[in-house]
Amino acid sequence: MRVLVHTEAAEAWRDALAERLPDAEIFTSAAPADQRRRADYLATWKPSPELLGELEGLKGIINLGAGVDALLNNPALPSGVPIVKLRDAGMAGPIADYVRYGVCHFQRDFDRYRRQQARAEWRQHPAVDKAEWPVGVLGLGAIGAKVAQALADDGFPVHGWSRSPRTLPGIECHHGDAGLRELLPRVKSLVLLLPDTPATRRVIDAEALAALPEGASLINPGRGTLIDEAALLAALGDASSETQGRLRGALLDAFPEEPLPAESPLWSHPRVLITPHMAGPTPLGEALDQVAEALRALAAGEAVETIDPAAGY
């Protein structure tokens, strides 16, 4: 089994995989072209079209992350090659912490206190109990389900949404277009953990934002393509005014173009918090175990859970 590794810190991935797969030949994309071309499997994160175009004999691709949109949108992606993605692999915990922070930021009025500090204004706001702060989680896959459960365990009423029906203990689950329309008016914080697919792009548009209650907040540790940015800015209201728009604020970790361009109005908007796609770092140990197991199964011809390119996940 010959495995080509292409990602940041590829040498560390190569060495750690070699320990788990001692009978395999593991090398990085820095290897000579003739060695790269002989690869049976590619373990990668956002490969270039040039690299994919070299690999004519691939038997499988391991996507070193939960989001596969960059890979599926790559024009050189070979057809018919099974693709396995990381499913949680330790990312759910950090993402749940990120979401908890975001929900707490608005539920406990830290956004308001931050603006008051700039004015040296000492004024308390009435506390809102967690039980009175319903949270919506769009996307109930491996990570979304754990995030929804963590919020419910914290005492927040949680509404979850997925395309098809799901049942999760302690979560009020909704599905389909009708379920989304039912969920939006009922939540004070909306969390986005959907994959990037043709069906989810700009799912949070002007209509969806208008359906949220006045003063709701948006938290996006998912994919940047889920939000219509112009609609979001309109819902947030005038950046130069203390008067908030319909939407109270947003915590954003993912954007259609990354890094977020310096000229983006999101950077300077007083009701937006921006982080540089750091909500769900991939813990190397758990991810490597999952990758090694997938490679063993693929090489042995065993059943492996692969993504559906048509669905996008």
Catalytic residues: 223, 277
Three-state DSSP state, 204: strand
Q: Which residues, 6 or more positions from 90, have their beta carbon under 8 angstroms from its beta carbon?
A: 282, 283, 285, 286, 287
d(CA 45, CA 8): 8
User: How many residues are recorded in the chain?
Assistant: 313
Query: In this structure, are residues 134 and 188 in contact, taking their beta carbons and an 8 Å threshold?
Result: yes
d(CA 171, CA 136): 10
Q: Phi, psi at residue 308, to the nearest 5°?
A: -100, 105
Q: Match 């080509």 to its residue by tokens.
A: 4
d(CA 209, CA 146): 25
Residue 272: closest CA among 217, 230, 309: 217
Q: Phi, psi at residue 37, to the nearest 5°?
A: -65, -20
List, in sequence order, every residue forming a beta bridge with 133; answer none if it has no partner: none
Determine the residue type at 190. Answer: L
Q: Using CB atoms within 10 A of its CB, is residue 26 exposed (0-12), middle (13-18) or buried (19+)?
A: buried
Residue 157: closest CA among 148, 147, 166, 165: 148
d(CA 106, CA 101): 9
Q: Phi, psi at residue 255, to the nearest 5°?
A: -140, 155
**Tally of CB atoms within 10 A around 303:** 6
